[in-house]
Structure 1
Amino acid sequence: MNKYRSNKVLTTLCLTGLFLFPACHSVYKLTSVEGRRIEINSIYDKSPDQEAAEILTPYKAKVDSIMSPVIGFSEMDMSIGRPESLLSNLVADALWSYSNSLPEQKVDFAVINMGGLRSSLPKGEIAFGTIFKILPFENSLCLLSMKGKDVRFLFKDIARVGGQGVSHIKLLLSKPVQAEVLEATIDGEPINDEKSYWVATLDYLAEGNDGLSSFLKAEKRVCPEGATIRQIFLDYVKAKTVRGEKVTSRLDGRIEIMK
């Protein structure tokens, strides 16, 4: 056997052993997978890495200069929860209001997902960065036209998860789990199965994600260029401030669960 062939055989044997040996002799196997959210907060500042801190200092100063300015005031603490919550109502209403300000556009209702809201809104000053904490994703506005009969399926999707952020609709749900829609109205009116309704939502949901696959039944889809959900909410807060108003919300029974 020549030297080249000898080395080739030896390499093949080594690679074979590398892949087979762990598989044959491993005593470990996957038994479960768990996931949870880990909040990164000031507790990690107690023992900072000085060298890393020095590298990040100029970047931190620039980010702070952008995120720290106050753009508005919240009248109350607003959290997230099902079937409805102060914060989800607020953001959904802001989305509905903006959508109806677009030229030649009439939106009947709005839907956002609770999972897209990643932080609460505390009472008091609202900093620019606070909005980024609440809406950290680059989601864009999408307007969908749906037949009333398909809107009913959408409301069933909302019921199955116990509620989402909505505006200008009212739902009465049966008790969870896997709740059913007992009553539903849009702007106070019963649903007309043959009527086309326009709904404002975000692109992620328009693609049928987060359990809202009924959005895929839409007849038409319009996604205005440059209209991100975060910027829409930022502008909503700024407009309130210009008018001398505080940002506020209320629980008005837009989604209720039968007692």
Structure 2
Amino acid sequence: MRSTVFIIGLLIIMGSCKTSLNISDVEAQNIPVASTELSADSSIILMVMPYKLNLESDMSKVISISDEELVAEKPESKLTNLMADLILQSGVAYCKMNYKNFKPDMSFVNYGGLRSSLPKGQITVGDIYELMPFENTMVLLKVDGETMSEFVSQIASRGGDGVAGIRLRINDDSIGTLLVGGKPIDRSKDFWIVTNDYVAAGGDNMSMLLDRKQFISTGLKIRDVVIDSLNEQFKRGKRIQVELDGRMYYE
């Protein structure tokens, strides 16, 4: 008991003798770090170098040859036609390989998603990365005829995008004539659209696509689909040769 009292008393005395410290002034200065004084770690360089070389090799791989420079323009262009054709072909191939009982009626590539042109001559993997820098995936949407019509109306209102599978005559920024698969659109039927996940989520003012009947994500990146498609054609000796075919035009 006495020891306990002694310890408590000792703590009280120590607390009362504690010195109070107050900050009276603060001095600060910048300590420069010269980049020349930082030496690279050779072990890190050796570890990273193979990946760097592989990346450079991949980006410089030639996957096709174009007879001319391809630039995105409206209402249609050889570049937007090429991209839309490749996506439609890939969508059809995906449905066939996965035993789907349908195939896409049209493809859509938003004009704003194409961020560069394709040069005349050799086309490399790096060129496609510059053209399509986003990590968008290919998706399939089932929509009714009214939603399909509203979707194409939005395309017409902004003067065109990349499409395949349809023929659109634009009149006063609206649908003049719309053919799907070579036939006038039947608004009582359903249609399948192959596009990217950004657009399918309502991006680029395409909110009407949120009112879909079915959604299928292929898990395939749009950019990879384009690269693989061009590369396969190139292996078969096919160059990029695209024509304007009047799939989208003003009255």
**Under TM normalisation by the shorter chain, which class is it?**
0.7 to 0.9
How far apart are the structure 1 equivalents of 2:36 and 2:201? 45
2:232 paired residue among 228, 235, 239:
239
Matches within 5 A, 1:128-207: 128-175=125-172, 179-207=173-201
How far apart are the structure 2 equivalents of 1:159 and 1:213? 15
Corresponding residue number in structure 2 for 1:21: none
1:223 counterpart SS class: strand
* Deviation of the 1:60 alpha carbon: 5.7
Unpaired stretches in structure 2, ≥5 consecutive residues = 1-19, 24-34
Q: Is 1:124 matched with 2:118?
A: no
CA RMSD of aligned residues (A): 2.5
Inter-CA distance 245–51: structure 2 relative to 1 (3 Å threshold): farther
Letter in 2 for 1:151: M
Is contact 1:171-1:182 (8 Å) kept? yes
Moved over 3 A (4+): 49-52, 54-63
Unpaired stretches in structure 1, ≥5 consecutive residues = 8-48
1:77 counterpart SS class: coil
2:76 paired residue among 57, 62, 84:
84
* Deviation of the 1:253 alpha carbon: 0.9
Is contact 1:83-1:164 (8 Å) kept? yes
How far apart are the structure 1 equivalents of 2:174 and 2:61? 44
Identity of aligned residues (%): 34
* Deviation of the 1:250 alpha carbon: 1.4
C-alpha offsets along residues 205-236 of structure 1, whole Å, 9 cap, x if unaligned? Answer: 001111222211211110112x1100110011
Q: Normalising by the residue count of structure 1, what TM-score does the alignment of the two structures yield?
A: 0.74
* Deviation of the 1:75 alpha carbon: 2.2
1:156 counterpart SS class: helix
Matches within 5 A, 1:210-229: 210-225=204-219, 227-229=220-222
Is contact 1:174-1:181 (8 Å) kept? yes
Inter-CA distance 51–76: structure 2 relative to 1 (3 Å threshold): farther
Give the number of aligned pairs. 208
Q: Is 1:71 matched with 2:68?
A: no
How far apart are the structure 2 equivalents of 1:50 and 1:163? 53
Residues 74-83 or 199-208, more deviating = 74-83
* Deviation of the 1:63 alpha carbon: 3.2
How far apart are the structure 2 equivalents of 1:108 and 1:238? 24
Q: Normalising by the residue count of structure 2, what TM-score does the alignment of the two structures yield?
A: 0.76
How far apart are the structure 2 equivalents of 1:63 and 1:248? 28
